[in-house]
Structure 1
Amino acid sequence: MPDAGAAHPDTVLAAERLADLQRLQAEYVNYKRRVDRDRAVVQERVVRDVLESLLPTLDDIHAAREHGDLTGPFAAIADKLEGALGRYGLSRFGAKGEEFDPQQHEALMHAPWPADDADLPAGATATTVVTVLQPGYRAGEQVLRPARVAVADPA
């Protein structure tokens, strides 16, 4: 005589199949979440790589603009290029008078400066950027290249 408390074999099999299905659904949800996260990371990396590859061109544009050689239609093209890259989060940084930050600046020259020197901002009390040799660039909050600068310690 069958035990009244024992489950029918079909009920046991159905419960096992349901558990298998729930486990597979959970695995799929985790897989989808991981793929979406990885896709975003890859997209950020690709954008960053493209922006980094354009930094030498942006340096040439910046140098031409600084020397007054960028005029007319070429200036308009340069402005469009910089605007388009700005929409991807690219921004230039590094300015004379900023306090030196090793996370954002690469000091190529470092010397004590007399406090009355015109190159040193008035009231500077910390190591200060006195010349920007090459601007830095960041994409969003990530530094692509630190600003290459000359710094001075106030005397």
Structure 2
Amino acid sequence: MTDSFGTQTGGAPRDEEHPGSGPVIRDKRRIDPETGQPRTPQTAPEPAPGQADGDAGADTGVTDAGAAGDDAHPDTALAAERLEEMRRMQAEFVNFRNRTQREREADKDRAVSSVIEALLPVMDDIHSAREHGDLGEGTPLRAIADKLEVTLERFGVRRVGEVGDVFDPTVHEALMHLPADSPGVELPEGSTEMTVVQVIQPGFVVNDKVVRAARVAVADPA
């Protein structure tokens, strides 16, 4: 409080009486105005142990909270969910494509097998004509038989059952078992297994499916 002459009569003491209570002015200029040289930055005073621990805990809490907030962000969870759905749909599509391909091939084999079953009498007649020598070179029937067999091979049809083949129960049906010394029986030299010595009726296979097993006569080596 001051009187009419501006003299302080009460309240807080003046700065002259308490020089340490006035405003503090810090010179933060990086260049010394007197020397023109850059000033060395002053190191901030180290905090007290208790204060340092508290600050460190506060900083750690903010960082962890931010990291936890990023991990739990709704957009991140939604993106992970959509990615998992996309992978599941891709796997289902691959399985569907493979299953469709297998079914298509199976349908093709069934269709070809049905045609072969219908043509079995014709194929048997061709085999009989070949056995009796009616399919000599230059005969019209020989040309027709060759074209038919070549066409069927394009669809995976294979004839099985030849004299000299090792007996295979998956494609051969043994109707007769002959001794090795029977008249007309000739085993390949060095045979050690049961061998086909006569083809009574040829068999046919479509890819890996047996349409009809070859009916044969077999003999064991002596």
TM over 0.5: yes
**Structure with bigger RCO (C-alpha 8 Å, 6+ apart):** 1
Which ranges in structure 1 are unaligned for 5 or more consecutive residues?
none
* Of 125, 132, 135, the match for 1:60: 125
Q: Which of 1 and 2 has greater Rg?
A: 2
- Over the aligned positions, Cα root-mean-square deviation in angstroms equals 3.2
Q: Give the secondary-structure state (helix, strand or coil) at the position aligned to 1:154.
A: coil
Spell out, residue by residue over 1:119-144, the C-alpha distance to the aligned partner (whole angstroms, 9 max, x if none).
Answer: 23254333222211112222234433
Q: Could you tell me whether the CA contact under 8 Å between 1:114 and 1:154 is conserved in 2?
A: no
Could you tell me the TM-score, scaled by structure 2's length? 0.53
Matched, 1:121 2:121: no
Could you tell me the TM-score, scaled by structure 1's length? 0.70
Amino acid of the residue matched to residue 211 of structure 2? L
Q: 1: CA distance between counterparts of 2:174 and 2:75? A: 75
10-19 or 20-29: which moved more?
10-19
Spell out, residue by residue over 1:34-74, the C-alpha distance to the aligned partner (whole angstroms, 9 max, x if none).
Answer: 32332222222222332233222111112123223457433
Matched, 1:92 2:163: no
Q: Which residue of 2 aligns with 1:104?
A: 171
Task: Specify whether residues 30 and 105 from structure 1 end up closer, same or farther in structure 2 by C-alpha distance, changes over 3 A only.
Answer: closer
Q: Could you tell me whether the CA contact under 8 Å between 2:180 and 2:187 is conserved in 1?
A: no
Instruction: Give 1:94 deviation, angstroms.
Output: 1.9
Q: 2: CA distance between counterparts of 1:108 and 1:41? A: 31
Identical aligned pairs, as a percentage? 54
Which ranges in structure 2 are unaligned for 5 or more consecutive residues?
1-67
Task: Specify whether residues 26 and 51 from structure 1 end up closer, same or farther in structure 2 by C-alpha distance, changes over 3 A only.
Answer: same
Between the two proteins, the alignment pairs up a number of residues equal to 152
Question: When you count strand as a share of all residues, which structure comes out higher?
Answer: 1
